[in-house]
Amino acid sequence: MPNVIDINRPGTGNLHKLLPSQGLALNRTQLDLTDVHYTVAGKQILSKVNLALHAKGITAIMGFNGAGKSILLKVMHGIVSPTRGSVHWNKEPTNAEHRLQQAMVFQKPVLLRRSVKANIDFVLKQRKSFAPATRNALLARVGLDEKYHVPARLLSGGEQQRLALARALACRPSILFLDEATASLDPASTAIIENIVHEQAVAGTKIIMVTHDAAQAARLADYIVFMDAGTITEHNPSHHFFAAPDSQAAKAYLDGRLFHHDS
Amino acid sequence: MQESAINIAVNLITQGDPDLYEIIGLSLRVSLSSVALSLIFGLTLGAALATGQFRGRAVLNIIINALMSMPPVVVGLLVYLALSRSGPMGWLGLLYTPTAMIIAQTFLITPLITALSRQVIEDLYLEYKEQFASLRLTQSQRIKALLWDARYSLSTVALAGLGRALSEVGAVIIVGGNIEHLTRVMTTAIALETSKGDLALALALGMILLGLALLINILLSSLNLSARRQAYA
């Protein structure tokens, strides 16, 4: 399926500037969620989620705590099955082959109890693409090229998250999911990860990230999906969202106010 | 009596008593072989129980836990019945051989290895599960990764199995018969010397057995400590 957007631009977070003035052409999508519901222990976490995400660029999912953002990300990634509804990739139900082209970085990196290089080698071997040069390049890219033999669990929080990102990139993903990947990192580590995410988006990987950091979303994202109480209240270009959010919940969120549904 | 037991133990070891070394050698051979076999069966079953979702998993867990506390004499009796001349495996002619002792101890230790390894692997799997799902690992890839990453904790499980095997007497005396130069091991020798009233010799053998267990523990503890320092455990 041809992409409608030329992603080879100087920066991310500016996709809307390159789009036709009539608005985003969201008709050609890579990831479609149709009537997705997710219920656990009788509690509705996601409800009537219909979402069409563009093949390229960066989409940030925002919303209050408990809005269902992380679950939505996991449903898209296929590691949580929706109670009802479907997820399609390029108009086909997502299958094992599609999912091998996705990777995810979690808020708390889960690293194998092995050295830095062994963590990368594990994925490269699993994907049958192991080559020392590939591993070395990945580690150099995240600034861990001098820590090959260090046990992964002895790295700092920022280094662990960079290793988790390198491991995700070892999967050569078409879609990269980031679940608050920089939530507990210092500004330097956050900047390194943001730069890599930006480069990856420029190279053509679709980035779908959950973040509470509005400034980060404004810096990086082309689109914002805003969630409230398990539903999507808006899906707009980033500039539109930050200038004039459609929903009251999003306005309250950006103003730093709690939102009460009866208000 | 204790001092004379110590003297006897030291003398037996330093003088290179061939009978003693034969008994120690057989004890180690039987125990290590049964632990090795139990690790093959126990780790496989433990990993399957820890990572698999199948019907009867809960029931299997209960059975394994119950088998952990099965008295050794009962295991010995069951293996005896199976290997005795009129039993279903009698034609193998294994009764009163070290092989019979290994079989009995394997039956005895496998539930212990299974239950303990299931717990170790399950704890690690809870941590890795979401990441493994994200990486789309197959069941066998998951199990291999878990076994490798839990190897230091699993060495402690193996140690617990070895401890049980080395100290076990009920099953091996029934299926081995405590035959001199053939099936006599440390524990059965201690039982025999005690029954003969030679308490000093029995105590000396007991001290050697304790020393062996201590040595194996020190080795594995050093290994685990080193792994912990490297954050691999």
A40 in a structural domain: yes
Q: Is A126 on the interface with B (CB under 8 A)?
A: yes
By CA distance, what is A125's nearest residue in B?
B141
Q: Tokens for B116?
A: 């303990």
Cβ of B134 within 8 Å of Cβ of A79? The answer is yes
State the Cα–Cα distance between residues B126 and B142, nearest whole angstrom: 12
Which residues have C-beta within 8 Å of that of residue A223, sequence separation ≥ 6? Answer: A15, A24, A53, A54, A57, A58, A59, A60, A235, A236, A237, A238
- Which region among A89-103, A197-211, B160-174 has the lowest average model confidence (pLDDT)? A89-103
pLDDT score, position A27: 44
Burial class (CB in 10 A: 0-12, 13-18, 19+), A111: buried
Q: What range does the domain containing A46 cover?
A: 15-101+173-255
Cβ of B134 within 8 Å of Cβ of A122? The answer is no
State the Cα–Cα distance between residues A54 and B118, nearest whole angstrom: 44
What is the average per-residue pLDDT within B30-55? 95
A151 in a structural domain: no
With beta carbons under 8 A apart, name residues in chain A contacting B224. none
Which 8-state DSSP code applies to residue B98? H
With beta carbons under 8 A apart, name residues in chain A contacting B145. 112, 122
Cβ of B231 within 8 Å of Cβ of A114? The answer is no
Q: Is B62 on the interface with A (CB under 8 A)?
A: no
Q: Is B179 on the interface with A (CB under 8 A)?
A: no
Which residues have C-beta within 8 Å of that of residue A148, sequence separation ≥ 6? Answer: A115, A116, A117, A139
The answer to whether A190 and A27 are in contact (CB under 8 A) is no
State the Cα–Cα distance between residues B146 and B140, nearest whole angstrom: 10
By CA distance, what is B150's nearest residue in A?
A113
Strand partners, A207: A58, A176
Domain count across chain A: 1
A238 in a structural domain: yes
Q: What is the CATH number of the domain that holds A210?
A: 3.40.50.300
Q: What is the phi/psi pair of residue A207, to 5°?
A: -110, 125
**Phi-psi category of residue A180: left, alpha or beta, with phi > 0 → left and psi -120 to 50 → alpha:** left
At residue A10, does pLDDT exceed 50? no
pLDDT score, position B216: 84
With beta carbons under 8 A apart, name residues in chain A contacting B133. 79
At residue A197, does pLDDT exceed 50? yes
For A119-137, write each residue's pLDDT tens digit.
999 999 999 999 999 999 9
Considering only the beta carbons, identify the residue of B131, B230, B233 that sits closest to A110. B131
In residues, how long is chain A? 263
At residue B208, does pLDDT exceed 60? yes
The answer to whether A72 and A227 are in contact (CB under 8 A) is yes
Q: What's the whole-number average pLDDT of chain B?
A: 91
A61 in a structural domain: yes
For B99-155, write each residue's pLDDT tens digit.
999 999 999 999 999 999 999 999 999 999 999 999 999 999 999 999 999 998 999
For A72-111, write each residue's pLDDT tens digit.
999 999 999 999 999 998 888 888 888 899 999 999 999 9
With beta carbons under 8 A apart, name residues in chain A contacting B127. 110
- How far CA B24 is from CA of A73, A145, B221, in Å, comes to 60, 51, 22
Cβ of B131 within 8 Å of Cβ of A106? The answer is yes
Q: Is A125 on the interface with B (CB under 8 A)?
A: no
For A223-240, write each residue's pLDDT tens digit.
999 999 999 999 999 999
At residue A68, does pLDDT exceed 80? yes
Q: What range does the domain containing B156 cover?
A: 2-229
A1 in a structural domain: no
State the Cα–Cα distance between residues B39 and B59, nearest whole angstrom: 21
Residue A15 banded pLDDT, cuts 50, 70, 90: very low
Domain count across chain B: 1
Q: Is B229 on the interface with A (CB under 8 A)?
A: no
* Nearest Cα residue to A179 out of A37, A36, A75, A252: A75
State the Cα–Cα distance between residues B167 and B210, nearest whole angstrom: 9
State the Cα–Cα distance between residues B105 and B4, nearest whole angstrom: 33
Q: What is the CATH number of the domain that holds B147?
A: 1.10.3720.10
State the Cα–Cα distance between residues B183 and B100, nearest whole angstrom: 10
Which residues have C-beta within 8 Å of that of residue B229, sequence separation ≥ 6? Answer: none
